[in-house]
Amino acid sequence: MVGRWFDSKGWRDIVISVPFLWLLVFFLVPFVIVVAMSFARRAELSPPIAFLDHWTYLQTGNFARLLDDSLYLRAFLTSLWNAGLATLFCLLIGYPMALGITRVTRSWRNLLLMLVILPFWTSFLLRVYAWMGLLGANSWFNKALTGLVNTILPADRAMSSIPMMNSNFAVVLVMVYSYLPFMILPLYANLEKLDQTLNEAATDLGSRPWQVFKDITLPLSIPGIIAGGLLVFIPASGELVIPSLVGNASDPMIGRVISDEFSSARDWPMASAVAVALLLALVLPIMAYTHFEKRAQERVEGRA
């Protein structure tokens, strides 16, 4: 009886419905609440929101402000620019690392992969604070770097320190450091699956090693590049902690704006509107990704 119940279609439906239920309760419902809130206005209530009391019940003022006030657009652009730079540098640093890991013996591979995820064992906040210590004007790192730079600068131009803290440079640097594993791991997973015989075939057909890379490895690793790129770009564009701690307060990223609207200004509807706008800006690349992924899958299926 029980066995039949476990085999039954109803049971299968329950198993399948668990993740859907999870997403519904913890993702879709909150998302709908946020979207709804973005059409409300700020009020001295608890919670501090008020809708219109007549049809359509919705106010589009928040979105109008989003376009009006250049603060928001600037914050969006800063976020996308910083996240884009961080993604680019993660790719430039992570690709050779991922490729290198696939080309060593199995025991070395495991060790190197372990080292890639090792930083996760220390608190993320602690690591950002460590960077603050390194980048600050009085740190040994800054002093040593300054000394090095001063050796090539004329004496009258000598600097007392390099202003690295509280800049977009610091934000991008720390984001690259923090998100690098998210680039390396999907890239490694992709590159590791590639058939080495294809490289041999290309070599056999007269291609030098870099031509083999350009013609075979690189195009076949595009799904990995896209996966790693999105895993870095999406959280980086909404990043709050790193720009708050090492960033330039006068040139905030969008996460900082949402946080400020929500807590300091107590303008939940405006914070929601910014969040919805950010989400839209990020959903489009994901849709593009699924599209490319599908095409790449079709391509890879051809491999014998």
Binding positions for another protein, rule: CB under 8 A: 195, 197-198, 200-208, 211, 215-216, 219-220, 298-304
State phi, psi for 87 to the nearest 5 degrees.
Answer: -65, -45
- 256 contacts 247 by C-beta, under 8 angstroms: yes
Minimum Å distance from CB 193 to another protein? 12
Minimum Å distance from CB 212 to another protein? 8
| Nearest to another protein of 167, 203 (CB atom) | 203
Residue 292 CA to residue 279 CA, distance in Å, equals 20
Minimum Å distance from CB 199 to another protein? 9
Handedness of CA 153, 157, 161, 167 (dihedral sign): negative
Residue 85 CA to residue 3 CA, distance in Å, equals 56
- 78 contacts 253 by C-beta, under 8 angstroms: yes
| Nearest to another protein of 167, 199 (CB atom) | 199
Q: What is the identity of the amino acid at 270?
A: M
| Nearest to another protein of 44, 301 (CB atom) | 301
| Nearest to another protein of 154, 206 (CB atom) | 206
Minimum Å distance from CB 95 to another protein? 18
Output the six-digit token pair for 101.
Answer: 């890991």
Minimum Å distance from CB 293 to another protein? 14
Q: What is the identity of the amino acid at 36?
A: A
| Nearest to another protein of 103, 299 (CB atom) | 299
Minimum Å distance from CB 229 to another protein? 19
Minimum Å distance from CB 211 to another protein? 6
- Which residues are 49's β-sheet partners? 42
Length of the chain in terms of residues written = 304
Output the six-digit token pair for 97.
Answer: 């690392």
| Nearest to another protein of 60, 211 (CB atom) | 211
Output the six-digit token pair for 58.
Answer: 């919705």
| Nearest to another protein of 202, 226 (CB atom) | 202
CA 19 to mean position of chain CA atoms: 24
Q: Give the C-alpha distances (Å, rounded to integers) separating 37 from 33, 44, 238, 273.
A: 6, 15, 19, 8
Q: Strand runs (DSSP E) across the chain, as ranges?
A: 41-42, 49-50
